[in-house]
Amino acid sequence: MNLMIHDVNKHFGPYHAVKNLSLSVEEGEAVGLLGRNGAGKTTTIRMILGLLRQESGSILWEGKSLSRKEIKLGYLPEERGLYPKMNMLDQLIYFGQLEGMSKRAAKQEGLKWIDRLGINEYIKKDTGDLSKGNQQKIQLIAAIMHDPDLIILDEPFSGLDPVNAQMLEEVTRDLIQQKKTMIFSSHRMESVESFCDRVYLMKHGEVVLSGSLHDIKTKYGFKYVNIESSQPLEESLIGLQTDFVRKGKEYQVQVKTMEQGLYLIEKLKNIVDIRKIGIADPSLNQIFIERVGD
Amino acid sequence: MRNFQLVFKQSFRERVTSKSYLMTTLALIMISIFAISLPSILENFSSPKEEVVVISNATDIEVSEVEQILTSWQWKEADPNQLSFFKQVAQEGKILGLYVIDENESNYSVNYYSKSNDVNLNSELSMYLQSKNVQKIALNNNLSTADQQSLFVPVVLEKGEFTAKNEVSVFVTYMMLMFILMAIMMYGTTIATGVASEKASRVMEVMVTKVNPLSMIFGKIFGIALASLVQFTAFFGSVALYLKSGIVEPAKSLGNFELNLSALTVEHCVYFFIFFLLGYLLYASLYAVFGSMVSRPEELNGTTMPISILLMASAFSGILFVIDDPTLKLSKFLATFPFTSPFNMIILVMKDAASLLEISISIGLLVITTFVFGYFAAKVYPKGILHFGENLKLRQLIMRKS
């Protein structure tokens, strides 16, 4: 079960929100959709959900035009929203029924997830009285309780404390193991890196970078030498004509190849006291800032 | 259809379990029962009749007869030798007045002693004595009893009717019109607030992926319509039960307005129900669209102002023109034009001034317009609910691509 978007365009008045977008997601694959605010991610997601109509191009599910009637979709929107005066379980039953579940099945599934996410004690509480993290858990349950074929999670980690984020990561991993087709839209690059096989980086409505994370990092053309020392390194690094940034105690030097990195380490070893040193691929965050930052 | 039912049930349940709904229903029932009972209550609490003492020196004036005719006061007869005593009592204000009635050649004369000088009492007593004098003259001139009675038959002064006689009182018609206006405004605002709240709480983002806009908008409209009908039934049912219980004598009128419900037929009630429901559905679609144009419920007042103006203008056109003369061409037009017809055709129906054909045309046009606007609402609604940030204008909403 795969999703295929081919050459899709969308305008809002004179503004070209999505330009010739093509992307694909295979069954059991999680794909990251990245970009700054206004890059066209939400418009793309809304077109997949059928809430907006593309002007050209096609959105296919298993080779056929995607129809909401024929596919079960799970969507966690970026902006969280629940009925504040409805209790948690009633809300989940309502959402489950709207997705075609029987009342009994919706209740059963809702209770199962409530138990798994550790929010049993709030079961009869109005959702408006719950913490943001717990509200987010309810929304996640609402997005996945009906066993959807395609799951779209828009900023799933925003507002979660580390414990809840960890819990959500476990759930997401399970879904990937269950061969769900998933699209992840997030600004938390470490999460995207840990879940997604491939990413699409959007800027001003078009994909500026795409592919597997390994390929992107390899093709990126830079590596970083990370150095920690007991003494200031600015003078030495300027002397070695390197391009560096200081992040707290750590200095980060950009090099083009592994050899250049090793050469730099060799040189530094002789002139400064080094506590910690290593060569690393660029993180997705670094690539993101590099490619979509102004 | 299943999702329509779910949204319908949810909207109904949400509405009928809300505190504001329960309080409004209770308040409506209490206020109506209070209004109906008010005249009886006032009667029980009204002050006792004031005492008037009469010394009659006229042979044909009996205090017992005065008492029967001038019932607003308590009458007491006294002897002429008690004059100074009762003058003193009147001066102390313990009685309303002392009235001494004498008889002369042409008429009666009255000397009275009163601190408060009750104009009503003076006027009515004077009229009574005048009529007694006419009666006496007639008798002295040997007029027959029939002729004597004819002297006192009042002139008949009656307002002519433009329409057939089988009409409901103006006050009841007015109340029905006000009920339709208030109900449409109240439930319409509930719909607009519901849509705006769902947008503000962003639950709309989830809902649009689960339910199609048509089911969402009409599930909401019909759910709230059912809640309004339940409220409607609870209100009328409670009032009817109260009236039937005989706990109090229902008022025949409120002030100068006749409150007689006897002319109200089942047919009237059915038409009232039809025009209320169709009017509600037409305006509810507009309220839903306008609700989708704002981002927060607090911004609704300004945005829904055009609907409020249209509603008020439609209802007040009925009060200003149609109630006065339902036969005017303007009245017929207002009763046929879809936005004004729910308020104005009901007046024509209550005044028995519309033919079955005219009523059918009015209902037909209202049904067609409701469908057209319902379709329009379902088309533009998704564009509105997915727009966040600055409020949309209606033109922007219509022109906006989906």
Helix or strand (DSSP H, E) at B77: strand B74-77
Mean pLDDT of B253-267: 67
Residues of chain A positioned with their CB less than 8 A from the CB of B204:
81
| ipTM of model | 0.76
Residue B254: band (very low, low, confident or very high) from pLDDT cuts 50, 70, 90: low
* Cα distance between residue A33 and residue A78, in whole Å: 13
Per this entry, what is the length of chain B? Answer: 402
Query: How would residue A269 be classed by pLDDT, with cut points 50, 70 and 90?
Result: confident
Q: In the β-sheet with B51-56, what is the strand arrangement from edge to edge? A: B74-77, B51-56, B97-103, B108-113
Contacting residues for A289 by C-beta, under 8 A, at least 6 apart: none
- pLDDT tens column, A63-102: 888 887 788 889 988 777 888 888 999 999 999 999 989 9
Q: What is the DSSP letter of B164?
A: -
The DSSP output letter for A87 is: B
User: Is the pLDDT at B295 greater than 80, yes or no?
Assistant: no
Q: Do the Cβ atoms of A133 and A159 come closer than 8 Å?
A: yes
CB contact under 8 A, A49 and B210: no
pLDDT grade for B149, boundaries at 50, 70 and 90: confident
d(CA B130, CA A44): 96
Q: Which residue of B has its CA nearest to A90?
A: B10
Residues of B in contact with A75 (CB under 8 A): 206, 209
What's the pLDDT score for residue B309? Answer: 92
Name the maximum alpha-carbon separation found in chain A: 72
Question: Is residue B138's pLDDT more than 70?
Answer: yes
Structure letter (DSSP) for residue A143: H
Confidence category of residue A52, pLDDT binned at 50, 70, 90: confident
From B10, B209, B386, residue closest to A94, measured CB to CB:
B10
**Dist. CA B370–CA B222, nearest whole Å:** 13
- Is the model's pTM score more than 0.90? no
CB within 8 Å of B58: residues ≥ 6 apart: B101, B102, B103, B108
Residues 6 or more apart from A54 whose CB is under 8 A from it?
Answer: A8, A9, A10, A18, A47
Which residue type sits at B171? F
Determine the residue among A11, A83, A86, A146 to mutate to test chain B binding: the one whose Cβ has the most chain B Cβ atoms within 10 Å: A83
Strand partners, A253: A225, A244
Do B401 and A77 make contact, defined as CB atoms within 8 angstroms? no
Residue type, A232: P
Alpha helices (H) in B296-340, listed in sequence order: 300-303, 305-317, 329-336
pLDDT value at position B155? Answer: 79
**Distance separating alpha carbons of residues B34 and B28, to the nearest angstrom:** 10
Quote the pLDDT of residue B249.
Answer: 66
The dihedral built from the CA positions of residue B16, B17, B18 and B21, taken in this order, carries a sign that is: positive
Q: Is B273 helix (H, G, I), strand (E, B) or coil?
A: helix
Q: What percent of chain A has pLDDT over 90?
A: 22
Looking at per-residue confidence, does B37 or B22 come out higher? B22
Residues forming CATH 3.40.190 domain(s) in chain B: 51-151
Between residues B397 and B329, the one the model is more confident about: B329
Q: Is the pLDDT of residue A5 over 80?
A: yes
Residue A60 tokens, joined: 């296919």
Mean pLDDT of B123-143: 85
- Residue B207: list chain A partners with CB under 8 A: 98
Q: Residue type for A222, please?
A: F
Testing the interface with B: which of A11, A82, A98 to mutate, by most B Cβ within 10 A?
A: A98
Is there a contact between B206 and A46 if contact means CB atoms under 8 Å apart? Answer: no
> For residues A189 and A162, is the Cβ–Cβ distance under 8 A?
no
> What is the residue whose two structure tokens read 């037009």?
B333
Distance in angstroms between the alpha carbons of the first and the last residue of chain B:
23
* CB-nearest partner of A82 from B6, B201, B402: B201
Name the minimum distance, in Å, from the CA of A96 to any CA of chain B. Answer: 9
Distance from CA of B20 to the nearest CA of A (A): 14
Q: What confidence score (pLDDT) does residue A60 get?
A: 92
| CA A269 to chain centroid | 39
Q: Which two tokens stand for residue B216?
A: 């969402």
Query: CA triplet B160, B161, B166: central angle to 5 degrees?
Result: 140
Q: How many CB pairs under 8 A join A and B?
A: 57
Distance CA B245, CA B16 (A): 27
CB of A217 within 8 A of CB of A281? Answer: yes
Q: Give the CA distances from residue A156 to residues A152, B77, B202, B223, in Å, rounded to whole numbers and listed in that order.
A: 10, 96, 15, 33
A84–B206: do the CB atoms touch at under 8 Å?
no
pLDDT tier for residue B388 given thresholds of 50, 70 and 90:
low
The arithmetic mean of pLDDT across residues B333-343, rounded, is 90
Amino acid code (one letter) for B338: P
For chain B, percent of residues with pLDDT exceeding 70:
87
- Measured between CA atoms, the residue of chain A closest to residue B6 is A98
Mean of the per-residue pLDDT values of chain A: 86
Phi and psi torsions of A242, nearest 5°: -105, 160
Question: What's the confidence (pLDDT) of residue B252?
Answer: 62
Q: Give the Cα separation of A184 and A41 in Å (integer).
A: 10
**CA dihedral over B16, B340, B368, B362, signed as positive or negative:** positive
Closest by Cβ to B209, choosing from A52, A73, A85: A73
Domain B51-151 of CATH type 3.40.190: yes
pLDDT band at A7 (very low <50, low <70, confident <90, very high): very high
pLDDT of residue A53: 85
A220-292 is classed CATH 3.30.70: yes
Strand ranges in A53-139 using DSSP code E only, listed in sequence order:
56-61, 64-65, 73-76
**CATH node for A3-217:** 3.40.50.300
Report percent pLDDT > 70 for chain A.
99
Domain ranges of chain A: 3-217, 220-292
